[in-house]
A and B are shown apart, each in its own frame.
Chain A
């Protein structure tokens, strides 16, 4: 495995990263560290995706089949339909922020550790 790691160039630049073999990828995939990273991504992203799609479809169905409810005026000319529509905007912004916070705190450090280990060829 070692021979394909190129030696450091003479002007002191960092050596080209080691290109891991399929064997190394298989080992990494089965490792507990990678399992944790996968779980941290999937257990966050999958339920959240289901949640926002259900909320969006609920909104679509309400618009279609609950006209009376959606037309209820809340204040002035602002009705339930408009508030729920703006609610979709708000939840989109919040989910984007929430996911990025999770990714920065929980995913990036784990991913970075695995990447540097693999590219170092250790």
Chain B
């Protein structure tokens, strides 16, 4: 498999210089190593619990590492470093929301979910409710959230890998997106959750190691004087001390300030509603291990975001702002460019090696994250929609796994097509939208289901569909889609909603609809089922 991949990439870069050859060899090494892991994991994947939950045999530390691998996407690594390099302090605001959000997962969601569910988010949402309508709703929102997130990663992969390899033609970019899509289909269909988890772990170790290396070198250059680093970044940016204060990106107008509040709420409430994160809690044997994995994830992700501050301000201090923007408008290449510079510049061997390492890490990051997302959406399709809605719970384990594999192929193809179309969209923005949809459609129902005894099927449906339609609808009529030069359709004008992030409206609406739907429903809540769910979720009785 690998020689074929290698020649495809090489053919697309006939003008490949020496460091491109190095980048490609590192990409190929990662691909070969992960395919090896995938095949090995695939041999051990026999039951549905293996495919969906990796056999539930991972330790808290392993899963914490894998969660970090799933969470630290290209948007975190390249997007945040790039945003800091361009907008200074405002770029840093993203990482705070992304990190604080883990406390919602730790305190309220991870352990009860592990105790009461089996394979998907829908297991918990539908526990007390009428199965078919709620499973359908949960499956729909899982797939929508994952596709938004997937789109962001695919768009990022296309732009970024093409850029690093010097591919400028549209055909070349589409080829890269297709390559990423095919690899992710292979990882998930063969390796299942076990293979995907190991790929996440390898990627997390690579990402952390690469980031430590560059952070160390940048700090060394400034004799570990952070104040000096910040001062150089501020003066080099041409914006002076404003570069170190909030406001350069979001403080422009009253609307942009509201947009920032909206983004902040979406980030902090989104994580605990992301299906690809939630299913990771099923890969450990107990709720105590789920708690440990979140603690490890908070430590690893927190340390990583602290280093992106150095990376971002380091890029601002070492590079000319014009060079960062010239390379990629959104700043997505600031981290690789800083690596090139700190290693000794474009003509040096050190620079070429560091650039290759960081590029390979970025590629590994994208591949691992798309695999996790595809697994989440195909699991939900197979387990929630196929097995419990279409087959009414009578599908055999074999049939369910076959459905999961086929839906992986289908979702992979859909995301290749969408990723090819969306290749010029802003990566970090799309991820923030996925967070907003997750916080509006999923989080209210998760919390009500676990903690509110009166909650009913109607409440769940109103909340999931209401939150989903509000979030996606508001995005559709926002400047993300039309009306601005950076929009998807810059020449059309149907941007009736002024904010780029819908969270400020759609998240409260999701919570409100869940409450209203419950208060107005004629059916009585199922007291026995709630007793089962509450006792199981807090004690782990009968956990699978």
Contact = CB atoms under 8 A, between A and B. Distances in A.
Interface of A: 17, 19-20, 22-23, 25-26, 28-29, 34, 37-38, 41-42, 45, 48-49, 52-53, 56-57, 59-61, 63-65, 67, 70-71, 73, 75-79, 81-82, 85-86, 88-89, 92-93, 95-97, 99-100, 103, 107-108, 111-112, 114-115, 118-119
Contacts of B228: 76-77
B390 interface: no
11 contacts: A28-B531, A45-B107, A60-B264, A67-B251, A77-B231, A81-B89, A81-B246, A85-B92, A92-B103, A92-B302, A96-B295
* Shortest 4 CB-CB contacts between residues of A and residues of B: A76-B227, A63-B246, A22-B528, A71-B245
Contacts of A25: 528, 531-532, 535-536
Contacts of B528: 22-23, 25-26
Contacts of A59: 96
Interface of B: 89, 92-93, 96-97, 99-100, 102-104, 106-108, 111, 226-228, 230-231, 234, 241-242, 244-247, 250-251, 257, 260-261, 264-265, 268, 288, 291-292, 294-295, 298-299, 302, 305-306, 451, 527-532, 534-536, 538-542
B542 A111 contact: no
B524 to A, nearest CB: 15
A70 to B, nearest CB: 6
Given A26-B528, A70-B245, A93-B299, A17 B539 contact: no
A114 B539 contact: yes
B159 to A, nearest CB: 28
Contacts of A53: 268
A60 B298 contact: no
Contacts of A85: 89, 92-93, 96
Grouping DSSP codes into helix (H, G, I), strand (E, B) and loop, the B interface class, with mixed when no group exceeds half, is: helix
Nearest to A90: B302
A95 B103 contact: yes
Given A60-B93, A81-B245, A89-B302, 12 more contacts: A49-B103, A63-B246, A64-B250, A67-B246, A67-B251, A78-B227, A89-B305, A97-B295, A100-B292, A103-B111, A108-B288, A114-B541
A37 B108 contact: no
A77 B234 contact: yes
Contacts of B89: 81-82, 85
A57 B264 contact: yes
A61 B100 contact: no
A52 B100 contact: yes
A43 B329 CA distance: 48
Q: Which of A48, A52, A82 has the most CB of B within 10 A?
A: A82
Q: Which of A19, A49, A89, A118 has the most CB of B within 10 A?
A: A89
Nearest to A37: B538
A41 B287 CA distance: 14
Contact of B244 (A77, A103, A119): A77
Contact of A19 (B97, B103, B107, B542): B542
Given A89-B305, A100-B295, A76 B231 contact: yes
Contacts of B292: 100
Contacts of A57: 264-265
A92 B265 CA distance: 16
Contacts of B265: 57
Nearest to A66: B246
Contacts of B107: 45, 48-49, 95, 99
A63 B263 CA distance: 13
Nearest to A86: B306
B531 A26 contact: yes
A71 B241 contact: yes
B298 A64 contact: no
A112 B247 CA distance: 50
A63 B100 CA distance: 16
Contacts of B92: 85
B532 A22 contact: yes
A23 B245 CA distance: 59
A56 B245 contact: no
Given A67-B246, A93-B302, A99-B107, A56 B100 contact: yes
Contact of A92 (B99, B227, B264): B99
